[in-house]
Amino acid sequence: MSEIPKEEYIKTCTAACAGCSSSLCLRYVLKAAGPDTVLVIPACCTSVIQGVYPNTSFNVPVYNIAFAAAAACASGMSKAFRSAGKKTNVIAYAGDGGTVDIGIQALSGAFERGTDFLYICYDNEAYGNTGMQRSGATPLGALTTTTPGGKGEFKKDLDRIVAAHNPPYMATACSSYPLDLYKKVKKALSIEGPKFIHILAPCPPGWRYESDRTIEMGKLAVKTGSWVLWEREYGKLTVSGPSKAAMKNPLPLEEYLKGQGRFKKATPEIIAKLQQALNKNLERIRKEEEGIC
């Protein structure tokens, strides 16, 4: 971890929940990006993490914009900075709701236009900011306040949607593997054009686990193969270190699910479906890495 700068970009005044993994992600994202950076955020937990006016917990400029508009706003900002000869990093930092649901049109437009920016989706698999309602990223069987019996549909496959836009760089990450995240942000920002990083960000109140288990929860997601760390540069996929080992010999899925209150109503049938989808995903990633698909 010695290569990670000591400089902090999230200071005091943050209004984040205890055990918030998204704050942790943002801490490393900003360390990688450095001070010549502007964050564009839609309605999401980050608008809470930043604190209440007149305070701000960040020491980079943060531009708050309407829920559906982060990628479009960042698009205009990036064009304006570049036309003025400025290299300033423009990072749209949005939750899963603002990405897979209401914001997906703007995301798609910005990627299609080749916008020079980094879009990061930190994914806590629900509308966390407003108290855990279902999003398109909520997994099958998970309890939310709007799926009190457990969600009946699978998580939307955001990565394949973004991949269809052929960005020069895209990657997955997890708050429990900060060095991996740090390196991916660094690499993304060294490349011109639209970049995408999808971070799994466990959420103690939303996923219903004790706040001191956030790191453990992310590690279990990776070790069971529920969340796979990889990066795709110019179309070439490489599985990242922590997931290489996990993919060879994944822990049983139940290890990940059992500690989360949100899966307490998941039946054996639901768990079997989740396991089946997980296996299929791992197989697809293996084949893609080997260049078979």
Partner 1 sequence: MLIISTGNKAVAAAVKQAHPSVVAAYPITPQTEIIEQIANYVANKEIETEYIPVESEHSAMAACIGASVTGVRTFTATSSHGLLYMHEMLHWAAGARLPIVMANVNRALGPGWNTWAEHTDAFSQRDTGWLQVFVGTVQEAYDATLMAFRIAEDERVLLPVMVNLDGFSLSHIMQSLDTVELGDFIPPMKLPHAIDVNNPMGYGPMTGPADYFTFRWDIERSMRDARDVIRETEEEFARRFGRKYGPTEDYLCEDADVVVVSMGTLGKEAEVAVDILRKEGIKAGSMRLRWFRPFPDLDLKGKEVVVIDRDYSFGFGGVVAASIRAKTGVECYNVIAGLGGQEVTYDDIAGFVRDRKIGEEMWFGVSE
**Which positions lie near partner 1, rule CB under 8 A?**
35-38, 40, 47-48, 50-56, 58-66, 68-69, 71-84, 86, 88, 105-106, 108-109, 112-113
Nearer to partner 1 among residue 59 and residue 211 (C-beta): 59
Residue 211's CB: how many other CB atoms inside 10 A?
A: 13
Taking CA 140 as the corner, what is the angle to CA 20 and CA 217, rounded to the nearest 5 degrees? Answer: 30
What is the per-residue DSSP string for 215-282? HHHHHHHHHTTSS--EEEETTEEEE-HHHHHHHHSPPPHHHHHTT-GGGTT--HHHHHHHHHHHHHHH
Q: How far is the CB of 7 from partner 1 (least distance, A)?
A: 13
Q: How far is the CB of 166 from partner 1 (least distance, A)?
A: 17
Nearer to partner 1 among residue 119 and residue 263 (C-beta): 119
Q: How far is the CB of 196 from partner 1 (least distance, A)?
A: 17
d(CA 163, CA 273): 24
Nearer to partner 1 among residue 92 and residue 247 (C-beta): 92
Q: Which two tokens stand for residue 248?
A: 């060879």
Q: How far is the CB of 42 from partner 1 (least distance, A)?
A: 10
Peptide bond connecting 148 to the previous residue in cis, omega within 30 degrees of 0: no
Nearer to partner 1 among residue 46 and residue 144 (C-beta): 46
Q: How far is the CB of 48 from partner 1 (least distance, A)?
A: 7
Nearer to partner 1 among residue 166 and residue 238 (C-beta): 166
Nearer to partner 1 among residue 64 and residue 275 (C-beta): 64
Relative orientation angle of helices 21-33 and 178-189, to the nearest 10 degrees: 40
Q: How far is the CB of 244 from partner 1 (least distance, A)?
A: 37
d(CA 272, CA 253): 9
169 vs 135, 180, 193, 244, CA distance in Å?
25, 15, 9, 20
